[in-house]
Homo-oligomer: A and B are copies of this chain.
Amino acid sequence: MLHHLLTTNELKVEEIYQLLEDARRFSKGMTWRTEQQMFTANLFFENSTRTKCSFEVAERRLGLGVIPFEVETSSVQKGETLYDTVKTLEAIGVNAIVIRHGQDRYFDELVGKVNIPILNGGDGCGHHPTQSLLDLLTIQQEFGRFEGLKIAIIGDISHSRVARSNADALTRLGAEVIFSGPEEWFDNHSLQSAKYRPIDEAIREADVVMLLRVQHERHQRKGSFTASEYHNQFGLTLEREGQMKPNSIIMHPAPVNRNVEIADSLVECKRSRIFKQMENGVYVRMAALKRSIESLMGGNQYEAAYSERKLHSI
């Protein structure tokens, strides 16, 4: 069976743990390569630095060939549909595809009809499973567990690809999730996954303060805040950081709006795991690619070479 990676919700708890374990091994130097030359393509219909570049690094670390694909110079400009584009890449020998697309659940028109795995690099305001996985890996590295942790997710939950996926996964893994941020940005739907707490309480109680990016490019509602209003009311100021629990950490999916969600000087402070999250992104993407490519290998079509030589001391 083909293992796409479309949403965090569809992953069972044991699948999440398996992906995190592979990611951890990759972080310790495990290598994994297919015997046969295999190819991926990264179709990004929206701008990206972190997700695209870290998939590019992950693919090369696995020895996969990467076929460049730029939406702006492709036949998408002649009106070719996403389905026909993916089928074309499948036909010319691409073995796995990463897609970021502005439309929610763009993958529904592909699943069941294409014969290569799709890894979702973000869909509309929907899902971003490799971002969730890298968040989970970062928390697991820090605390060694999820049970009993309190995670505060702060910001615009309703427009966040990550917030609800994370809330769902963290809850299933035994953590307690609370939401905070501008109350008018929450809707009943958001609040099904976790309860709302005022910002200062959330920050004082949390083991993990996970800030969301204010997505200027998605925001058109009235009553928005100026940058400094947002920072004072809902951002992680120096004062609020002083109220955090002793071993608690700061996370943010980036790109950061400095002095909006978080004070400039806190981005690289001792508590911050923001750049650690980016590093972890490579390892979880390697794990996700391995899982998807292994699912192609059912019929012994491909073989992979493992090396855990460096792993004896882990």
Q: Does A74 contact B (CB under 8 A)?
A: yes
Task: Say whether A53 contacts B77, CB under 8 Å.
Answer: no
Q: A44-B73, A47-B74 are in contact. List 17 more A-B contacts (CB 8 A).
A: A37-B60, A47-B73, A49-B69, A49-B88, A52-B73, A53-B67, A53-B92, A56-B67, A61-B93, A68-B68, A70-B70, A70-B73, A75-B255, A78-B255, A92-B281, A93-B279, A93-B282
Q: Taking the nearest CB of chain B, how far is it from the CB of A215, in angstroms?
A: 8
Measured in the bound complex, the distance between the Cα atoms of B154 and A35 in whole Å is 44
Measured in the bound complex, the distance between the Cα atoms of B90 and A216 in whole Å is 26
Task: Say whether B49 contacts A93, CB under 8 Å.
Answer: no
Quick one: which of B57, B72, B92, B281 contacts A282, CB cutoff 8 A?
Answer: B92
Residues of B within 8 A of A60 (CB): 37, 39, 65, 67
Taken residue by residue from 7 to 45, chain A's Cβ proximity to chain B (1 for < 8 Å, 0 otherwise) reads as: 000000000000000000000000000000101010010
Number of interface residues of A (CB under 8 A): 52
Task: Say whether B91 contacts A275, CB under 8 Å.
Answer: yes
Measured in the bound complex, the distance between the Cα atoms of B76 and A256 in whole Å is 12
Residues of B within 8 A of A256 (CB): 84
Q: Does A184 contact B (CB under 8 A)?
A: no
Taken residue by residue from 76 to 105, chain A's Cβ proximity to chain B (1 for < 8 Å, 0 otherwise) reads as: 111110001101111111100000000000
Measured in the bound complex, the distance between the Cα atoms of B303 and A173 in whole Å is 41
Contact flag A78-B47 (CB < 8 Å), given A53-B89, A275-B87: yes
Residues of B within 8 A of A71 (CB): 73
Residues of B within 8 A of A275 (CB): 87-88, 90-91
Identical copies of this chain, number: 3
Measured in the bound complex, the distance between the Cα atoms of B176 and A19 in whole Å is 57
Taken residue by residue from 287 to 298, chain A's Cβ proximity to chain B (1 for < 8 Å, 0 otherwise) reads as: 000000000000
The 7 closest A-B pairs by CB, nearest first: A91-B278, A49-B75, A80-B255, A91-B275, A49-B74, A54-B92, A47-B77
Q: Does A217 contact B (CB under 8 A)?
A: yes
Closest to A75 in B: B49
Residues of B within 8 A of A278 (CB): 88, 91-92
Q: Taking the nearest CB of chain B, how far is it from the CB of A274, in angstroms?
A: 9
Task: Say whether B39 contacts A94, CB under 8 Å.
Answer: no
Task: Say whether A57 contacts B93, CB under 8 Å.
Answer: yes
List 10 interface pairs A-B (beta carbons < 8 Å), by A numbering.
Answer: A39-B57, A44-B73, A49-B85, A57-B92, A70-B70, A72-B73, A80-B255, A88-B275, A90-B275, A91-B279
Measured in the bound complex, the distance between the Cα atoms of B91 and A254 in whole Å is 12
Measured in the bound complex, the distance between the Cα atoms of B61 and A282 in whole Å is 25
Within 8 A of B (CB), among A225-250: none
Measured in the bound complex, the distance between the Cα atoms of B68 and A281 in whole Å is 17
Task: Say whether B80 contacts A49, CB under 8 Å.
Answer: yes
Residues of B within 8 A of A91 (CB): 275-276, 278-279
Q: Taking the nearest CB of chain B, how far is it from the CB of A260, in angstroms?
A: 10
Task: Say whether B92 contacts A69, CB under 8 Å.
Answer: no
